[in-house]
Structure 1
């Protein structure tokens, strides 16, 4: 079967431009070594963490933090002090995603919709979404903790000041009342929230806000450093 000449030209152009880019970067590294500049040894992420889709661009507060390897895409709104951590994905391509003040989406979590028929995602203020959690078309009340590797299905409503235990699976259209702890697969009420846990839920997001500020400062310094060497 003969190869399409147009596809052959596209392949040749791609490989040629790829070789040029890699050669340029190799020369830059060599030049930096010869000058005694070692910025090339730092990991420079080419990934674009904040990206529009079609006509929809994320609305990001100046005080929020998006890690270089995270992704915030499309119709997403991040409130003051909100943070999206490393390898976390927040997708507003199908429906809108609203994340409130001081809420944090931790490493490798996914927040978004599964299709154009999915409900919007609304995450209140001071919410902590644990590592590897999956939130699809749901509403999460303020001052809530979503444990690591939890899966929350479409149409779920989690009340304020609640804890969803690590590894829990909440079935579609489930309503979790406020001030409760849920666990299991499928998740069920475990018990009422303790007074000490309410204090913890209020303090956890502030710790993440402080930590995100430190990471943000580091990223800004690295960017300035790279710009300086590029001049």
Structure 2
């Protein structure tokens, strides 16, 4: 199960950038653009926790200057019931405010602008402090003539660039992150299209057919994008650099 992050950020461009970057790393990202939306999402997710007593999310990224109030209101509401990791992301640099929010229960405070690498590192530290250890994210896949680089969002087949639609790429990326293992129909639908499409298996059939047409030598007899009847799909295990089958390389 991928870790779920609640991102509360009103800047549309930054919200999209962070969401995409976290998705590449294998996180499931739920976004909110206001304090009210963040509080509602947290309450709603908490009604369907994945572990007894949790908030339905594994980590919160919280902006402070929201259009309808201060992000620290959400921090206070969260800390009354849960101890999950929370990282403040803000353009405010006041040492006094940093100290106050850290004392109020924030695990870290990251000042904008910041690099994605630093954010990911701080997330790993926060999760580790709360007892969650992460395996390195799979960012690169190679088998036969297929090369997928999730960090660069590049797909090449026999050295030639392959154009994928955004949805095709997200579906392939989800399979790359679990290369060699079966991913169920439901998990693929939830991760790529959202929970509201968890039963829309025709989406999967359509897009898997499109991926196979672009990536398989014989789409009717796939060697990479494999079907597990009645369960889901599996991307064939990546090859080690020497050509032997092995674990996917890591970024």
TM over 0.5: no
Indicate the structure whose relative CO is greater, using CA pairs within 8 Å and at least 6 residues apart.
2
Larger radius of gyration: 1
TM-score, structure 2 as length reference: 0.24
Q: Which structure shows the bigger proportion of residues in helix conformation?
A: 2
